[in-house]
Amino acid sequence: MKEFKKYFNYLKEDKSETNIFIAIMDFLRDNPKPKDKQIHDLADSLKLEADILEESVYELLGSFIAGGKSYENKTTEKDVDSKQLEIGILVEAEHTTNKFIAKKIALDHLSEKKDYYTSLIENELADEEDALKLFKKYY
């Protein structure tokens, strides 16, 4: 269980929801595709019941999926410019290797401002090479 020691440090004295979330996020950053056994081993090392840890993982995921402006505004990919979304997915890939998550982030931005990625690129606030090439192709 030595490999889990750094996550346990968060919970030594304070098993608050915040510290559990921090431990989970650090664990997932180090283990982006964990197996169920790894989650159970983590729970054991944190001295938590596995279902408590799993519920916290699901809560974090649910708050991300059901959060953000696209969810609040009920914005889907049908509601935004497909070119802006395609460019946005490439820009938001800086935050994740998961295309679904990059798309969710892009939809959040586009639900607030329809030409978000045009503005970002024109103001030189995006430097992702693939996104810049696609922008030049489209615009």
CB distance 34 to 73 below 8 Å: no
When pLDDT is averaged across residues 111-124 and rounded to a whole number, the result is 96
Distance CA 27, CA 133 (A): 35
Share of the chain above pLDDT 70, in %: 89
DSSP 13: S
When pLDDT is averaged across residues 91-117 and rounded to a whole number, the result is 95
110-126 burial, b at 16+ Cβ within 10 Å, e below that, comes to bbeeeebbbebbeeeeb
Q: pLDDT digits over 45-91, tens only? A: 888 899 989 999 998 888 888 889 999 999 999 999 999 999 999 99
Enumerate the domain spans of the chain: 2-65, 75-138
Read off the pTM. Answer: 0.77
